[in-house]
Amino acid sequence: MKKLSTSILAMALLLPIAACTSEEPVVLRGGEFITTVDGTEITLNFADDADRAFGRVVNTYNAPYEINGRNIRFGPAAATMMMGLDENAMRVEFEYFQFLNAVETFKLSGNELLLRATDGKEIVFEKLN
């Protein structure tokens, strides 16, 4: 019986060490990012207190998101409905919202956030803060 309790104690002591050595999840909360696609600036921010992303292309937008390891899924984006004068910027915005719906993974490395969609398309954002 003493041998069993010693084994359980040893496992209990080693479990926190094993947990610390596994890869820690990357936290995006509070992050502010920016990129430019075809001359159009796109911002992507992550709320401090909720799993909600928001930003601006032509219109401001927000969307819920969920992270599981290196996987990320954005929910449907809600956006203001202002019509931009720049047709190129409106096209970029439309394509960006489609991209957000298809994003499946992310990688935060230094000051860069890479989002990758199911079709392999990628957008790299630069961290502002």
Euclidean distance between CA atoms 99 and 7, whole angstroms: 51
| CA angle centred on 82, ends 79 and 85, rounded to 5° | 130
pLDDT by residue (tens digit) across 69-115? 999 999 999 999 988 789 999 999 999 999 999 999 999 999 999 99
Q: What are phi and psi of 29, to 5 degrees?
A: -55, 135
pLDDT by residue (tens digit) across 45-64? 999 999 999 999 999 999 99
pTM of the model: 0.79
